[in-house]
Structure 1
Amino acid sequence: MPAWAATLTWKAAVFITVMCCALAALLGVLVHTQVTRQTVGQAREKALARLADVTAAYETGEALPPGSGIDPPGLPDALRTLATSGDRGTLVADHFGRPAMWAAAPADGHALATQVDYSQSARTIDSLDGAIIGSSLLAGGATLLVGAFAVTRVTRRLHQTARVARRISAGDLDARVRDPRTADPARPQDEVATVAGALDTMASTLQRKLQTEQRFTADVAHELRTPLTGLSAAAELLPPGRPSELVRDRVRTMRALTEDLLEISRLDARTEAVDLDVYELVPLVERVARMSGTPTTVRTGPPEHTARVRVETDRRRLERVLGNLIANAHRHGRPPVVLTVDGPVVTVRDHGPGFPDYLLDDGPQRFRTEGSGRGHGLGLTIAAGQAAVIGAGLDFRNAPDGGAVARVTLPEHPEPDDGEPDTRTGPKSGPRQEE
């Protein structure tokens, strides 16, 4: 069935139409039956009264009126048989192409019969049937229009509630339905207003909890910076040796974690300002690979897709995204780690066990861990947040032959129409080196 057939509007329209047709049919049958019974009854009484006059005339030997006689032509066989068997009866049948009410009685082993015109009564019944059908169609159409209008008002509110729910799930916690029926508690509320009010309440509660969490994360990170700065300075004063190296290493790790927490809090608060410019993508990717200090291979796609590919982005944030993806590939995957540039798409792949299922289903989550030490910290979460800030697409998948694949899709900057170089092109890196 088509998708529109599953909508509430369609189902309601079908239900209303079926109920209207059923009700109209029931009423039409009842009216038709009752009127037909009355009309036939009146015609039968008239035919029997005429038969009584014909019988009296036959018994006295008088001339029979027109349309009457012994076994007259056109007399239905069923009525003739009934009369010859000694009973009286009536029957509606055609007489020379016109409906007639026949009445017959026994007379010396024959059928004494008469008939009265039934065409007017038949036309009355036909006109009544036409009026019933016409009024039923009119009433059904009017009911369908009114019902569709009423249902559309309900479904429009449901669609509005669904749109707000999708905006909330996408991260817009300021979205609200604000159904006018929920503004006044004294006003009667229907089920749609109840759902809309519950969604608004849920969104407000969720927003407050997330804001509390964001403030807590930011406050903790800010409070940690001061003692960590002092601890870092004190660690530099320690005498050389293995214990001093361990202390300095742990201090650097804690400082990096604090900076990550601050970055997460800024991303959550949506206060990041983007500094967009146009850059050649291949030199920028090669520079990130070199700065990572890891044995990362850089490959480029076909020259017609990759040569002088320009993207409009924030270089610092893109470097942060790619750097985190490279670090995650080396930390949780296995070499070789390969960066592939194909047009405005950069792919980071390792040859390890691949991303866990929860990450593929729900995206990066902070400090999510599994058994056997598998999981991830803040690196992928920051990469996803920074990619969203610069308008890049970031998706995660596993390669069919093994390994995790992270793909960054950047907005490509079109080449100038006149063929002149773009003066907004950012700094270029040196010759490409593969590590």
Structure 2
Amino acid sequence: MARKFFGTDGIRGETNKGAMTATMAMRVAQAAGNYFNRGDHRHRVVIGKDTRLSGYMIESALVAGFTSVGVDVIMTGPLPTPAVALLTREMRADLGVMISASHNPYQDNGLKLFGPDGFKLSDEAETEIERMIEDQPDLVPASAIGRARRIEDARGRYIHAVKQSVSDETRFDGLKVVVDCANGAAYQVAPSAIWELGAEVVTLGVSPNGTNINDGVGSTSLGALKAKVVEEGADIGIALDGDADRLIVVDEKGQTVDGDQIMALVATRMHEKGDLRGGGIVATVMSNLGLERYLQTQGLTLERAKVGDRYVLEKMREGGFNVGGEQSGHMILMDYATTGDGTTTALRILASLVRSGVKASELMHLFDPVPQLLKNVRYEGGSPLDNESVKAVIAEAETELAGTGRLVIRASGTEPVIRVMAEGDDEAQVNRVVDRICDAVRDAC
């Protein structure tokens, strides 16, 4: 059944509208609290957030909702999404909640929910919680209301944890690293972790004011990072997004290194050491065909999942893989984290850079991507992909690309947008195919 509130990555929307109001946040907390309120132990939730102004409002509403159904609350303050997942598991909590809209502008906010194992909730669990949102909550008597408190050592716990992803002998002495934290959740922890391992750190996006998250900085706005890397003569640049569960790298020349190249590097290094499990990696349908071809030359496979790091993770767990990710920068290293973790992945990349002794541009260019084009078509209603004329154009395009490329068309899970992606060896052909399909979708709308 179609879900009303949850999308591909929790609940997300413009603050004080629709599903992202304080009232709604309280109802989500009450429903989730009732859902996890099983067993005779004292129930507990960990709540983290990024740096959005609305985070205070949403946090307070969540606290009210959880405590009203008898769940104790632990608040961490601004902290990356993977840190909330980590602390949920380590503190034996029943549930973790991250307040963030990831790479979206500050006007938006969202809720990501984690189970007691630190993994994002399944579709089935979210569907049941969604059903319970519209029911009357099971409120506890006054004597059983939950307690709330803040912990002060959450950042230190996370920094210690991510440093365990590299060996005790690894040091980054001699490396100059520009770290762009998007004025988001990792503005303190990411530069600290890299500096503690010996690197010279130059920072960007570490002065959050509530409204500047992802504003001209971070993994979706690389201009400032590219300029700073070149200006500083840095060895590498690291760009995180608002909740630091993804990263994009910039090499010493100021060139972008996307998630596909990062996955290729991580998989290759782990395979060389015998640490790669599953015989390959998991990526999404959006990852470049060039990555798949490169992995084949290494005797490795590329398993493809639906877009969304939760679906990557599901396929990883099903197939016993320990490396997966998305072209957009979500990297899941299952040996160290239960969700995408930009800081942990950055440390792994820096460790490879130190050991290799080569420039980032050489280390992180393992394959030539085939021409790929992605375009978005916004629509206002209906289901454009069910239109017969659109289906006909798509079928034509699939026939044209057969054997030399791929076509991926999907509706966004978070906004009314159709995403049209094609890739293949012939760039002109790819451009023609995408434009034809986009035109057909617009006509159908």
TM-score (structure 1 length as normaliser): 0.21
Q: Which has the higher contact order (CA 8 A, sep 6+)?
A: 2
Give 1 or 2 for the bigger CA radius of gyration: 1
* Larger strand percent: 2
